[in-house]
Structures are given as C-alpha cells and as structure tokens.
C-alpha cells in the first residue's frame, strides 16, 4: 500500500548530515595509522514530506562523503576556530566516488630521508672544504686576508649547519613521531571502545533486552 503524501517540499538549502562509525581498511589522508575504525561524515540534500499531520525529512541525493580517523575526528571536535582545518579524506563528491589515495611515505620516513640526504651533502661539503684547505696550506704561500676569510667562512658554514639546521630537522622528526604515537593511541582506544560497545550490545541481545531503544538513548 503506497503511503499518501499531503505535500512534498524541496529546496537547494535543505540538507541532512550524518556521522557514522565504520570499520575497514581505507587509505586515509594524513593518517599514518591505516586500517581499523574510522568515522564517516555524509551530507545530502533533503526533501520534506508532510503526512500524518507532521513533517518527515528524508535524504535525497548524497553530496559529499568524508572519512576521518578517530584522532582526526577528535581533533575536529576539540579545535574549533583554529588553524586551516583538520585533514580528511573525501570519498564521494558531486555525484561520483573519488579515486583512492595513492601510496605515500609516512612523514617520519620523508623527514628521515631528508635528514640522511642533508647529512650526505654536509659530508661531501666538508670533504671538499678539507681538500681546499689542505691544498691551500700545502701551497707554500703566505695566507693573505682573503685566504683567511675564505677559511673562516667555510668553518662558519659547517658550524651553522651542525648547530642550527640539523637540530631543526631533528625537532621536526621528533614532533612527527609524537603525532604518530598520539594517533596510534587514539585509534587503539577507539577500537577498544568499539569492541566493548559491541560486546555489551551482544550480551544485552542474548538477554533479550530491547537493544535498539538503548542505542538511541
């Protein structure tokens, strides 16, 4: 039997939004902990049907679907009005699914590789400078003012690299590792809470308790 609708309304500003907890192995943007639980945010256009003396709001067309890791979701809720926003993974937009995120090295690996590259460059530079200094000292000529300035400049550049640039790279690496640890803790906590939640619901079901009403509370 088809339900009789007294009135149906549509407008471009009408919408519905929904958060859902999911599990799986999606590749998430700017999340080094892949797999497990994640949060989806869906926004759709909406229609309003009026029948049985009240309005009923229904989803019409999905506009966008976004994935967030548990730590990204937590950061989103706790850092309003701060920065440029929390990274998320857009999985559906303008009527189509987006392409899967390509493989990308972790931030720690990128920083580590960059640090190794810088150390390799510094080593080459120091060897070149040592060769130049040896050639100058073995030339037998008296060092003039310019020669002394060149030697001092080479030394200062090495000191600057060791005292300033390298510690900065190390700080960035440590910060990245700390972020990954925080992410890991959030993901593990979310998975544990989800298991506890599901286990509790299963126990209630075995006791024939009306679980659906409990979940709505």
* Top-ranked range on mean pLDDT: pick from 31-35, 43-47, 50-54, 150-154: 43-47
pLDDT at 6 over 70: yes
Output the pTM of the full model. Answer: 0.56
Q: Provide CB contacts within 8 A for 66, sequence distance 6+.
A: 40, 41, 42, 88, 89, 90, 91
Residue 208's pLDDT is: 56
Residue 214's pLDDT is: 39
Contact 27, 42 (CB under 8 A): no
Place of tokens 């190390």: 170
Residue 27's pLDDT is: 86
Better-scored residue on pLDDT, 75 or 164: 75
List Cα–Cα distances, 166 to 115, 155, 180, in angstroms.
8, 16, 21
- C-alpha 14/C-alpha 117 separation (Å) is 53
Tens of pLDDT, residues 90-121: 999 988 999 988 777 666 677 777 777 777 78
Residue 25's pLDDT is: 81
Give the mean model confidence (pLDDT) for residues 133-145.
78
Residue 151's pLDDT is: 79
């Amino acid at each position: 039997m088809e339900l009789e609708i007294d009135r149906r309304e549509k407008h471009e500003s009408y919408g519905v939004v929904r958060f859902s907890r999911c599990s799986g192995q999606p590749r998430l943007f700017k999340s080094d902990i892949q797999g497990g639980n994640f949060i989806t945010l869906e926004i759709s256009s909406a229609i309003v049907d009026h029948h049985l003396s009240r309005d009923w709001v229904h989803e019409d067309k999905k506009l966008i679907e976004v994935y967030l890791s548990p730590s990204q979701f937590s950061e989103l809720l706790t850092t309003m009005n701060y920065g440029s926003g929390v990274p998320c993974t857009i999985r559906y937009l303008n009527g189509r699914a987006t392409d899967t995120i390509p493989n990308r090295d972790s931030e720690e690996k990128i920083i580590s590789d960059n640090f190794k590259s810088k150390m390799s460059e510094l080593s080459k530079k120091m060897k070149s400078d040592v060769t130049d200094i040896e050639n100058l000292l073995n030339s037998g000529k008296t060092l003039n003012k310019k020669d002394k300035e060149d030697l001092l400049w080479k030394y200062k550049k090495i000191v600057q690299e060791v005292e300033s640039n390298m510690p900065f790279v190390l700080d960035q690496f440590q910060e990245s590792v700390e972020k990954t640890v925080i992410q890991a803790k959030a993901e593990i906590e979310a998975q544990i809470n989800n298991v506890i939640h599901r286990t509790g619901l299963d126990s209630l079901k075995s006791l024939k308790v009306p679980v659906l009403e409990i979940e709505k509370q």
